[in-house]
Amino acid sequence: MRIVIVGGVAAGMSAASRARRFSPDAQIVVFDRGEFVSYGACGLPYVIGGEVGDFGDLVARTPEQMRARGIGVRTRHEVTGVDARAATVTVLDREAGRTTTEPFDRLLLATGVSAVRPAWAQTDLGGVHVLRDIPDGRALEASVAGARRACIVGGGYIGLELAEALRARGLSVVLLERGPEVAGRMLDPQLQAQVREELERGGVDVRCGVTVEGLTGTGHVTGVQTDAGLVRADLVVVAVGVKPNVELARAAGVRLGKTGAVAVNARQETNVPGIYSAGDNTQSTHRVTRRSVHIPLGLPANRMGRVAGVNMAGGNARFPGVVGTGIFKTFELGVARTGLTQTEADELGLNAVSVDVTSTDHAGYHSGSRPIHVRLTGERGTGRLLGAQLIGRNHLSVKRVDVVAALLGTRATAQDLFDADLAYAPPFSGVWDVLLVAADRLHRQL
């Protein structure tokens, strides 16, 4: 049994490790076009910000460590083609410039996503960056050292995390967002302003409803031209989204889903026998809506990889699906969501209602107490929970989103949440945790 894995970061390495454990005999080879494998890409903004010492700290296991476990890791090896009928891949050794053909019994596509670069960002100007992998991070780090004015384009997770990081490095930061507010796809409109206000409190110049038209400069960037004028900048980060890397899948005759990412079943099998897909390049099933979604995040990617690894090695694991959980920190603020927002529920035609509760994360009288806002969404008629959005001024307080995330997996009702025997002591929550207060209000409206 020869298992070939394309891509050695989250899903690919999880798959390799699982396959190794499950089948001591299988030959396992991982090809990655880059230099680094098995690292936490989500940590990149925190290296820039200084909370992580070095890019090397993000690496969980080196190729040597993987090889010692019997996993053949070949970095700087790019898989350029797949022949599904012959069960071979074409591999370019980028160091040697040599191409070989490699056979497989099972093939995993764990090719991830690439940062979207709009036409204006396809440039050779110095000081223009995206942030997807360690080389991106090193290049950005090198630019930060000499920069004074940063312009971040895009108000999603990475843009918001980087805004804090670049302010921490002493740069002035302008954040441009095309939509009416930052975090626009993550939260309902009622909560978005709080995120913007926190950025502004942290000294970020946030400009929403602004479209970028181009960059200025020769050799090195000097500014970002927008429909609202020129923004001077000697450092530009393009964080406008990602797209799944599906070229190999297409070449292999693997079917893509409506989301544009690879379609798989719960065993991570594609439509082509013997070919699996896992990670950010792959779509998954939303457990609340039962629809296919493309949510490229760390935990689902790792989980899909595990499932694929077990199954490629002859086992039988199933990916349970996702519920759309996401979380980030920017400055002091923690922001989290799970399930559906009211906006998303409305788009799906569900009979949804939301309640908002502003309370404190500790007992109100405790000096450690900070504000927390919970928006909880449920379905009229069935009473079931649909989702939650949380914003807390002690960022750790929003990790309680996990309570709702876990319950969404069991198709629980608002009453189930209200009945939960949650932990209470003054340094942790009010006697009625804010989630319970919200559940109480919600279930009376369902």
Active-site residue set: 42
* Cα three-residue angle 260-304-349, rounded to 5 degrees: 50
User: Counting contacts by CB under 8 A, is residue 270 touching its own copies?
Assistant: no
Q: Sign (positive/negative) of CA torsion 281, 287, 159, 143?
A: negative
User: Counting contacts by CB under 8 A, is residue 405 touching its own copies?
Assistant: yes
Determine contact, residues 209/184, Cβ cutoff 8 Å: no
Choose one: 48-56, 188-196, 236-244, 246-254; the region binding its own copies (CB under 8 A): 48-56
Taking the CB of residue 7, how many other CB atoms lie within 10 A of it? 28
Give the 3-state secondary structure of residue 10.
helix
Choose one: 190-198, 208-216, 225-233, 295-303; the region binding its own copies (CB under 8 A): 295-303
Among positions 61, 196, 287, 393, the unique one binding its own copies when judged by CB under 8 A: 287
Give the 3-state secondary structure of residue 126.
strand
Query: Rule CB under 8 A: which of 347-386 touch its own copies?
Result: 363, 365-368
Cβ distance to its own copies smaller for residue 123 or 285: 285
Quote the least distance from Cβ 299 to its own copies, whole Å.
Answer: 5
Quote the least distance from Cβ 244 to its own copies, whole Å.
Answer: 19
Cβ distance to its own copies smaller for residue 104 or 328: 328
Determine contact, residues 122/130, Cβ cutoff 8 Å: no
Quote the least distance from Cβ 243 to its own copies, whole Å.
Answer: 21
Cβ distance to its own copies smaller for residue 15 or 327: 327
What is the residue whose two structure tokens read 């996993």? 71
CB-count burial class (<10 Å; 0-12, 13-18, 19+) for 365: exposed
Cβ distance to its own copies smaller for residue 300 or 378: 300
User: Counting contacts by CB under 8 A, is residue 116 touching its own copies?
Assistant: no
208 has which bridge partners?
177
Quote the least distance from Cβ 415 to its own copies, whole Å.
Answer: 9
Main-chain phi, psi angles of 40, to 5 degrees: -90, 95
Cβ distance to its own copies smaller for residue 215 or 412: 412
Quote the least distance from Cβ 57 to its own copies, whole Å.
Answer: 4
The closest alpha carbon to 18, from 316, 300, 274, belongs to: 316
CA–CA separation, 215 and 233 (whole Å) = 10
User: Counting contacts by CB under 8 A, is residue 322 touching its own copies?
Assistant: yes
Query: Rule CB under 8 A: which of 407-446 touch its own copies?
Result: 407-410, 412, 416-417, 419-429, 431-433, 435
Choose one: 94-102, 126-134, 183-191, 296-304; the region binding its own copies (CB under 8 A): 296-304
CB hemisphere CA count around 345 (13 angstroms): 24
